[in-house]
């Protein structure tokens, strides 16, 4: 394919568990280079190597944009390498706040806001100061401050921050992580942001160093689990938002490389896992609450994805009279490449679908499986791939059932009863081509494997736009409007209505996008909640309760050609 | 004793886009703050709480209970069907043992809706508990069901529907009918001739508090349940006994409701009334969910509880104690005069029903065949100010041949009469006919 030499290029990079993919794509959609390097424990070293290999002589001034999907935050969380962070929370009545304790120094102080944001009990300054001193005395340098219903009224969190600023000048504040309600998740998310801050900052400095050494000065971004990006420097305040972006990279890659008509199911088959995602009417499906990171349930927006422990290198167990079992463990590399036992990859090699390693070794390794199934080796190899497709289809079925059983809260939604039923399948990842036929028959759906499917994840990272979300809550009886993500908490009069709310919400979102390193022309706003309730006292209207949720939905950067 | 966690199903349907009228208490915002509180507490993230999606009930579900005049479509909206359907989802989750218990947090409510429906009464069109109970009986073969109505208003609709049913124990705790809508629910209302004692009304003095409810539960409700041995216990969980409720005069609290549910251990809870949408419902609902899920609810209370809740006054305590000892004699020791009727006799009763919301006036003449073998043939002649004049006949489940014959002959006679419509609800064969 002729790539115009003059066109600027985008660098996209996705760090995976075993290998790191990097691409250079031109903004008219042509892939100029693609490399895979093994992922090493030293993340900056891996990044350095991948960047150098993919650039291989391309001048830095041709690079117009760089985006990275990394495992830094995820690894720190799942490997329990978080920095110590103290937490001070105020709760009031309800679930016992001790049940939400996180980190090495968790303190509950007196103070209570109600669901409208009214103060039901003042904060105890004495208790806050004592807790802060205790945290400092443990040698802890990071702090998170959270109060229940702080997204209705951030006053208590701001007040705590003011009191402790001599000791902790930059605490993580709960209302800033998300405008959604969920106190335990707010605590966990705030804690993660506090406990990742230093590690993340070190990582950002290291990455900046690598880029600057190579004179790469174009705008640079990190991918988030919602399929959107955030500016590298702008990510410093909310490091947890960059965790677990891998599945999002694949789904955005599908969107970049395939027309994705109607409802499209995306499968990214890797070494030991398969990531499942959905694209509905041109946009990826979002998870309604927030992502789970290790043991933490968070308020971090993410795509609705699921991982199943089945991949090309998964262990295959055959017993006479029982269906084949595949995964979730991995014994090692394929037998054809010197591994101890034959995973599905060996079946592909035996069937001649894949040219790798020693075919005869793969054949011998599959013999016990064939014996257990009472088939010849070729048929047994097909049976392994069919079974793999069947197991993936089962997991997808459960995933769709879960999505379609999701509660709805209005008469309109019950009657509309939209169900998500894919009509098309996009396959990505290393063994995609080899699995297309078995998956097509397991799902009974047409299946496409777009060009560059094996590096779709890196392409997805490269071309995803900046996303943001804001939540507006106005209560004309209390006389306040709050947009927690944008730091807005101001007085309003009784005339404030949905139209004014919408103007304020749009402005807040624009501000949030530019604060996240996005540009004005990136804006494609979706209104996900828009409600104005009459507040009534004794049969007469006393005011309005307005709720708005606006976001920039995940999508591709302007100019990237949609496949048709 | 630490409570043990249970799997609790939650069917939440706030109908954020439906109201009786823009400023009516039964409006869009009613469960908004409850939703806020439940979300903020993180209850939906608990492993033992499972949220279910509602589905609308069908007209067949409604016809197992009601005679809708002129038809189902005219007296229900989608919202009523979804509210009733939410109860069916809760029931299925429990009956299929997906969960240990379930709470249908749905609106609009239903416990003032009677068997014949001409319109909306006390914010209710369709009796959502009764629709659920009859679905359970039909689908899962359950016979004996107890409904404990803890709404502040007498559950007159539910009482009327089960008045003749010896297999449904209906217990209603409510503010004394002499002081509040609908003005019924006195202890002498104990059920029809075939079901004497299956209805138990406990009218409480105004300002009854946590203590009073606890005593009534322990001394009356629990022993009645113990004696009846139901296969299933349902709580019609109205929340208007709350000290902050604007249209009632009671003194109950979120913690009180939670404790009541922890003791009652209902299989299914259904939200009924309760219009202190900001100051009571968020906390009462959180309390009930936590109690059902077996969580420690000692920290649940209204933020203003310490300032505004006043313990029950000594004279209320005295009145409640007197009431309890009197009703123990009646309900548990059988000290009442049961009218004696001979089997085969057909008794007639006349009543008038006012539909406060829709301003409809209805006159009823009810016929019941006294029977020892089944719940008895039932006939209801109903004339409403709308001009509709109908005759409705019901054949009970497991009807005896004599009652079936009686009911069928009533239906045939009426069909030849001048009624605008004649209905036959055959619960034994699960069919419904109009003529
Ligand atoms: Zn009521
Ligand atoms: Zn009979």
pLDDT in tens, A151-162: 999 999 999 999
The tokens describing B54, both together, are: 């509602």
Q: What is the mean pLDDT of residues A202-225?
A: 96
Domain locations in chain A as residue ranges: 4-76+202-310+393-462, 85-195, 469-552
Does B12 contact A407 at a Cβ distance shorter than 8 Å? yes
Q: Which tens digits make up the pLDDT trace of A398-416?
A: 999 999 988 888 888 888 8
Q: What pLDDT does B391 receive?
A: 98
Residue B356 has a pLDDT of 86
Cα of B342 from ligand 1 centre, angstroms: 38
Residue B383 CA to ligand 1 centre (angstroms): 27
Q: What is the pLDDT of residue A122?
A: 96
The position carrying tokens 């949030």 is A512
Dihedral class, residue A412 (left if φ above 0, else alpha if ψ from -120 to 50, else beta): alpha
Residues in chain A within 8 Å Cβ distance of B37: 94, 115
Locate tokens 């009304």: which residue? B201
Q: What residues of A are in contact with residue B93 (Cβ under 8 Å)?
A: none
- Closest-CA distance, A536 to chain B, in angstroms, reads 6
Reported ipTM: the value is 0.94
Share of chain B above pLDDT 70, in %: 99
Decide: A501 and A474 in contact? Cβ < 8 Å.
yes
The model's pLDDT over A63-91, given as tens digits with 9 standing for 90+, comes to 999 999 999 999 999 888 999 999 999 99
Among B12, B13, B42, the residue to mutate for chain A (most A Cβ within 10 A): B42
| Number of C-beta neighbours around residue B283 at 10 A | 32
- Under an 8 A CB cutoff, do A409 and B15 touch? yes
Instruction: Tell me which residue in B29, B78, B286 faces A535 most closely, judged by beta carbons.
Output: B29
- Tokens 């590298």 found at: A232
Which of A114, A408, A530 would you mutate first to test chain B, the one with the most B CBs within 10 A? A114
pLDDT over 90, % of chain A:
84
What the block records as the tokens of A338 is 């010197």
Centre of ligand 1 to C-alpha B313, Å, is 23
CB proximity list for A117: less than 8 A, separation 6 or greater: A149, A152, A153, A475, A478, A480, A482
Ligand found nearest the CA of B374? 2
Confidence (pLDDT) at A1:
40
Q: Which of A432-436, B36-40, B232-236, B237-241 is predicted with the least confidence, judged by mean pLDDT?
A: A432-436
Centroid of ligand 2 to alpha carbon of B194 (angstroms): 9
Provide CB contacts within 8 A for B58, sequence distance 6+: B81
Among candidates A116, A297, A534 on the partner chain, residue whose Cβ is nearest the Cβ of B45: A297
Q: Please, where are the H alpha helices in B148-304?
A: 156-162, 210-216, 222-228, 254-264, 281-292
Ligand 2 center–CA B399 separation, angstroms: 5
Q: Which of A467, A439, A465 is nearest to A453 (CA)?
A: A439
- Verify whether the Cβ–Cβ distance A182 to B51 is below 8 Å: no
Of all residues in chain B, the one with the smallest CA distance to A100 is B42
Interface of B with A in 194-253 (CB under 8 A): 246
On whether the CB atoms of residues B108 and B427 are closer than 8 A, the answer is no
Q: Percent of chain B beyond pLDDT 90?
A: 90
Cα Dmax for chain B: 66
pLDDT over 80 at B34, yes or no = yes
Q: What b/e readout covers B160-185, taking b as 16+ CB neighbours within 10 angstroms?
A: bbbbbbbbbbbbbbbbbbeebbbebb
Q: Which residue among B22, B51, B56 places its CB closest to the CB of A407?
A: B51
Name the band, by pLDDT with cuts 50, 70 and 90, for residue A38: very high
Is the CB of B304 inside 8 Å of chain A's CB atoms?
Answer: yes
**Average pLDDT over chain B, rounded to an integer:** 95
Please, what's the b/e burial string for B43-77 (b: 16 or more CB within 10 A of its CB; e: otherwise)?
A: bbebeebbbbbbbbbeeebbbbbbbbbeebeebbb
First-to-last alpha carbon distance for chain A, in angstroms, is 17
How much is the pLDDT for A19?
A: 87
Phi–psi pair at A96, nearest 5 degrees: -65, 115
CATH superfamily membership of B8-332: Histone deacetylase domain (3.40.800.20)
pLDDT in tens, B35-90: 999 999 999 999 999 999 999 999 999 999 999 999 999 999 999 999 999 999 99
**Is the Cα torsion angle B122, B124, B130, B136 positive or negative in sign?**
negative
Contact A510, A523 (CB under 8 A): yes
Give the gap in angstroms from C-alpha B430 to the nearest C-alpha of chain A.
27
Is it the case that residue B20 has pLDDT exceeding 90?
no
pLDDT for residue A413: 83
Nearest to A540 among B18, B23, B282 (CB): B23
For the four alpha carbons of A288, A294, A296 and A301, in that order, the dihedral sign comes to: negative
Closest-CA distance, A129 to chain B, in angstroms, reads: 24
Q: Residue B131: which H helix or E strand, with range?
A: helix B128-140
Name the token pair of A390.
């069947």
Q: Closest chain B residue to A544 measured between Cα atoms?
A: B29
The closest alpha carbon to B394, from B410, B371, B378, B376, belongs to B378
B424 touches chain A (CB under 8 A): no
Examine the pLDDT at B2 and tell me if it is beyond 60.
Answer: no
Query: CA distances (Å), A323 to each of A274, A388, A496, B51, in order?
Result: 20, 11, 64, 33
Pairing of strands B67-68, B145-149: unpaired
Q: Residue A564, Cβ neighbours under 10 Å: how many?
A: 6
Rounded CA separation A554/A181 (Å): 22
Cβ pair B27:A297 closer than 8 A? no
Q: Would you call A410 and B78 a contact, using CB atoms and an 8 Å cutoff?
A: no
Q: Is the confidence at residue A2, as pLDDT, over 60?
A: no
Residue A515 pLDDT > 70, yes or no? yes
In this structure, the strands spanning A172-173 and B431-434 are unpaired
User: What is the total residue count of chain A?
Assistant: 564
The C-alpha of A147 sits at a distance from chain B's nearest C-alpha, in angstroms, of 11
- Looking at the complex, report in whole angstroms how far the Cα of residue A112 sits from the nearest Cα belonging to chain B: 8
For residue B36, give both structure tokens: 């806020």
Domain ranges of chain B: 8-332, 346-434
User: For the segment A410-443, what is each residue's pLDDT rounded down to a tens digit?
Assistant: 888 888 888 899 999 999 988 888 899 999 999 9
Supply the residues of B annotated as catalytic.
112
* Tens-place pLDDT, residues B254-288: 999 999 999 999 999 999 999 999 999 999 999 99
Helices (H), B18-66: 32-41, 59-63
Average confidence (pLDDT) over A328-355: 93
For range B148-156, the mean pLDDT: 97
Distance from CA of B283 to the nearest CA of A (A): 8
Q: Do A414 and B55 touch (CB under 8 A)?
A: yes
Do the Cβ atoms of B53 and A415 come within 8 Å? Answer: no
CB B289 within 8 A of CB B103: yes
- Contact residues on chain A for B244, CB-CB shorter than 8 A: none
Contacts of B33 in chain A (CB under 8 A): 115-116
Q: Do A409 and B14 touch (CB under 8 A)?
A: yes
3-class secondary structure per residue, A180-238: CCCHHHHHHHHHHHHHHHHHHHHHHHHHHHHHHHCCCCCCEEEECCCCCEEECHHHHHC
Q: What is the dihedral of CA B235, B239, B242, B248, to 10 degrees?
A: -110
Instruction: Give the confidence band of A5 by pLDDT, cuts at 50, 70, 90.
Output: low
Give the whole-angstrom CA distance, residue B410 versus residue A163. Answer: 81
Among candidate residues B131, B83, B120, the one with its CA nearest the CA of residue A410: B83
> What contacts B131, CB < 8 A, 6 or more positions away?
B57, B61, B62, B64, B65, B66, B84, B87, B88, B110
Whether the per-residue pLDDT at A4 is higher than 60: the answer is no
Query: CA of B68, closest CA in chain A: separation in Å?
Result: 22
- Chain A residues contacting B, CB < 8 Å? 92-96, 100, 112, 114-116, 120-121, 148-149, 180-185, 289, 297, 405-412, 414-415, 531, 533-536, 538-541, 545
**Chain A residues with beta carbon closer than 8 angstroms to that of B56:** 414-415
Question: Which residues of chain B make contact with A180, given a CB cutoff of 8 A?
Answer: 39
For chains A and B, what is the number of CB pairs under 8 angstroms?
A: 115
Where residue B1 falls among pLDDT bands split at 50, 70, 90?
very low
Give A442-496 pLDDT, tens digit per residue: 999 999 999 999 999 999 999 999 999 999 999 999 999 999 999 999 999 999 9
| Ligand 1 ion: Cβ-proximal residues, 5 Å cutoff | B 151-153, 238, 240, 273
Look up the CATH architecture of domain A4-76+202-310+393-462.
2-Layer Sandwich (3.30)
Q: Do B27 and A534 make contact, defined as CB atoms within 8 angstroms? A: yes
């Amino acid at each position: 394919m002729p790539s115009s030499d003059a066109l600027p290029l985008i660098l996209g990079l996705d760090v995976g568990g075993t290998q790191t993919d990097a691409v250079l794509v031109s903004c008219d959609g042509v892939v100029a280079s693609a490399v895979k390097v093994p992922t090493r424990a030293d993340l900056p070293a891996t990044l350095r190597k991948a960047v150098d290999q993919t650039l291989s002589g391309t001048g830095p001034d041709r690079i117009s944009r760089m985006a990275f999907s990394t495992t830094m935050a995820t690894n720190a969380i799942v490997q329990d390498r978080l920095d110590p962070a103290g937490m001070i929370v105020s709760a009031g009545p309800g679930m016992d706040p001790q049940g939400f304790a996180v980190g090495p120094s968790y303190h509950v102080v007196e103070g209570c806001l109600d669901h409208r944001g009214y103060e039901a009990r003042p904060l105890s300054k004495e208790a806050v100061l004592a807790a802060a001193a205790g945290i400092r005395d443990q040698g802890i340098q990071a702090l998170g401050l959270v109060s229940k219903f702080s997204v209705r009224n951030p006053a208590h969190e701001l007040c705590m921050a003011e009191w402790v600023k001599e000791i902790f000048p930059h605490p993580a504040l709960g209302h800033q992580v998300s405008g959604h309600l969920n106190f335990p998740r707010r605590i966990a998310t705030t804690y993660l942001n506090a406990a990742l801050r230093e590690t993340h900052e070190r990582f950002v400095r290291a990455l900046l160093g690598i880029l600057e050494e190579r004179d790469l000065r174009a705008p640079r971004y990190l991918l988030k689990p919602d399929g959107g990006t955030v500016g590298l420097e702008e990510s410093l305040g909310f490091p947890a938002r960059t965790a677990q972006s891998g599945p999002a990279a694949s789904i955005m890659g599908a969107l970049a490389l395939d027309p994705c008509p109607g409802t499209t199911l995306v499968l990214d088959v890797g070494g030991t896992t398969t990531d499942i995602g959905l694209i509905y009417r041109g946009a990826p499906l979002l998870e309604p609450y927030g992502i789970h990171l290790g043991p933490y349930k968070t308020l971090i927006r993410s795509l609705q994805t699921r991982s199943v422990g089945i991949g090309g290198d998964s262990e295959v167990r055959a017993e006479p009279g029982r269906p084949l079992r595949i995964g979730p463990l991995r014994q090692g590399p394929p037998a054809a490449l010197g591994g101890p036992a034959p995973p599905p990859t060996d079946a592909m090699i035996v069937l001649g679908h894949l040219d790798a390693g020693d075919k005869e070794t793969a054949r011998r390794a599959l013999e016990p499986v064939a014996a257990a199934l009472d088939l010849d080796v070729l048929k047994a190899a097909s049976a392994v791939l069919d079974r793999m497709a069947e197991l993936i289809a089962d997991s997808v079925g459960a995933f769709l059932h879960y999505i379609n059983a999701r509660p709805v809260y209005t008469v309109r939604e019950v009657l509309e009863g939209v169900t998500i039923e894919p009509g098309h399948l996009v396959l990505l990842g290393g063994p995609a081509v080899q699995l297309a036929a078995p998956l097509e028959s397991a799902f009974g759906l047409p299946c496409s494997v777009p060009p560059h499917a094996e590096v779709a994840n890196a392409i997805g990272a490269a071309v995803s736009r900046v996303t943001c979300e804001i939540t507006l809550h106005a209560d004309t009886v209390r006389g306040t409007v709050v947009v927690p993500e944008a730091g807005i908490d101001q007085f309003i009069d009784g005339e404030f209505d949905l139209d004014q709310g919408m103007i304020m919400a749009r402005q807040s979102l624009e501000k949030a996008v530019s604060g996240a390193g996005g540009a004005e022309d990136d804006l494609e706003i979706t209104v996900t909640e828009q409600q104005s309730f009459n507040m009534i006292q004794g049969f007469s209207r006393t005011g309005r309760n307005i709720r708005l949720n606006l976001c920039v939905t995940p999508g591709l950067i302007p100019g990237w050609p949609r496949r048709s | 004793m630490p409570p043990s966690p249970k799997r609790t199903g939650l069917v939440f349907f706030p109908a954020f886009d439906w109201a009786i009228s823009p400023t009516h208490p039964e409006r869009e915002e009613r469960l908004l703050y409850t939703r806020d509180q439940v979300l903020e507490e993180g209850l939906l993230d608990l492993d033992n709480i499972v949220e279910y999606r509602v589905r609308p009930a069908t007209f067949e579900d409604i016809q197992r209970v009601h005679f809708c005049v002129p038809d189902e479509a005219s007296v229900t909206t989608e919202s009523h069907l979804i509210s009733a359907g939410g109860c069916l989802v809760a029931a299925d989750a429990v009956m299929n043992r997906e969960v240990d218990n379930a709470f249908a947090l749905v609106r609009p409510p239903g416990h003032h809706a009677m068997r014949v429906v001409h319109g909306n009464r006390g914010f209710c069109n369709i009796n959502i508990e009764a629709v659920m109970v009859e679905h359970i009986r039909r689908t899962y073969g359950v016979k004996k069901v107890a409904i404990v109505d803890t709404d502040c208003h007498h559950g007159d609709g539910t009482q009327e529907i089960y008045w003749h049913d010896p297999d449904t124990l209906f217990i209603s705790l409510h503010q004394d009918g002499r002081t509040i809508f609908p003005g019924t629910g006195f202890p002498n209302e104990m059920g029809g001739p075939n079901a004497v004692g299956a209805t138990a009304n406990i009218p409480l003095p105004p300002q009854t508090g946590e203590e009073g409810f606890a005593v009534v539960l322990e001394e009356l409700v629990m022993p009645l349940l113990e004696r009846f041995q139901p296969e299933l216990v349902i709580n019609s969980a109205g929340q208007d006994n709350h000290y902050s409720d604007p249209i009632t005069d009671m003194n109950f609290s979120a913690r009180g409701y939670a404790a009541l549910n922890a003791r009652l251990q209902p299989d299914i809870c259904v939200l009924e009334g309760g219009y202190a949408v900001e100051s009571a419902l968020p906390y009462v609902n959180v309390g009930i969910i936590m109690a059902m899920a077996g969580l420690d609810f000692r920290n649940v209370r209204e933020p203003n509880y310490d300032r505004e809740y006043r313990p029950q006054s000594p004279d209320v305590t005295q009145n409640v104690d007197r009431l309890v000892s009197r009703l123990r004699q009646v309900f548990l020791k059988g000290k009442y005069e049961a009218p004696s009727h001979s089997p085969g006799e057909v008794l007639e009763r006349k009543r008038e029903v006012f539909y406060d919301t829709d301003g409809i006036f209805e006159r009823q003449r009810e016929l019941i065949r006294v029977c020892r073998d089944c719940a008895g043939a039932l006939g209801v002649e109903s004339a409403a100010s709308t001009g509709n004049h109908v005759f409705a006949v019901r054949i009970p489940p497991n009807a005896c041949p004599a009652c079936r014959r009686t009911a069928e002959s009533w239906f045939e006679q009426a069909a030849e009469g001048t009624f605008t419509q004649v209905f036959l609800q055959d619960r034994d064969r699960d069919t419904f006919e109009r003529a």
